[in-house]
Amino acid sequence: MNLFKILIIAIGGSIGSVARYLTVKGLDEKMNTAFPYGTLTVNLVGSFLIGLFYVLAVRKTGMTENWRLFLGAGFCGGFTTFSAFAWENFSLFQQKMLGTAFLYTSVSLVAGFSALALGAWIARFI
C-alpha cells in the first residue's frame, strides 16, 4: 500500500467534500423546496467529471496515475453523494412524496448516465 497515493486521494476527497457541501447548501437554500436540487446537481456534475476524467486518463497519455487518483477516487468520490441520494429518497418516501421520489430517482439515473457519457464524449476532443 502506497501512503503517498492514499494522501493524494484524501486531499482530493477533502476538496470534493467541501465543494459538495457548499454546492448543496447554496442550491438548497436558494431553491427552498423539498426537492433535493443540490444533491442532484453534485451527482450530475460528478458523473460528468468522472466520465471526462476516465476518458482523458485512458485515451490521453498526459494524465499520471496520481492525477487520476486525485481527480477520480479523491475529488469525485468526495463530491458525489450516493448515500445522501439514498437518504433523501428514503425521507421522501417517509413523507409519502412518492411522485417526487420517483422523479428524483429517474432524473438522477437518466441524467447522471447522460452526463457521464457527455463528459466522456467531450474528453475525446480535448
How far apart, in Å, are the Cα atoms of 80 and each of 2, 19, 108, 109, 126?
24, 10, 12, 13, 24
- Residue type at 42 in one-letter notation: V
Residue ranges at the known binding site: 77, 80
CA–CA dist 115, 99 (Å, integer)? 23
From 97, 100, 96, select the one nearest 37 (Cα to Cα).
100
Give the total residue count for the chain: 126
Bind-site residues for Na(+) = 77, 80
pTM recorded for the entire structure: 0.80
Per-residue pLDDT of the chain (126 residues; tens, 9 = 90+): 799 999 999 999 999 999 999 999 999 999 999 899 999 999 999 999 988 888 888 776 678 889 989 998 899 999 998 878 988 999 899 999 999 999 999 999 999 999 999 999 999 998
| Residue at grid coordinates 458523473 | 47
